[in-house]
Amino acid sequence: MDIHLMRAFFKWCTILNGGLLIVFSLIVRFAGAWVFGMHSQWIPISEDSFPDAIYLLLGLFKIFVIACNLVPYVALVIIGRKQAAKKSAELL
């Protein structure tokens, strides 16, 4: 697997997971009562503790997206630029 394929993979993982994070955040923000009603049917949770649970889950998902998608993508971009600079220096 070359660096360009890996960089494209992590770029699209970051875009897709970041988009999901935004969508989930907007759903919770604007349809929180509906989300609570849906989840309270599945698991016993009080209405007072639901915002804390959602905030925790969205926070963990954000950390996951940053640590597992964005950071490797940025690292691969940096490595790719250094390799390109090294190749151009060798040609001179």
Q: Are 54 and 28 in contact (CB under 8 A)?
A: yes
pLDDT in tens, 2-58: 889 999 999 999 999 999 999 999 999 999 899 999 988 999 999 999 999 999 999
User: pTM to 2 decimals?
Assistant: 0.81
> Where in the chain are the domains?
3-91
Q: Are 72 and 12 in contact (CB under 8 A)?
A: no
**Confidence band, pLDDT 50/70/90 cuts, at residue 64:** very high
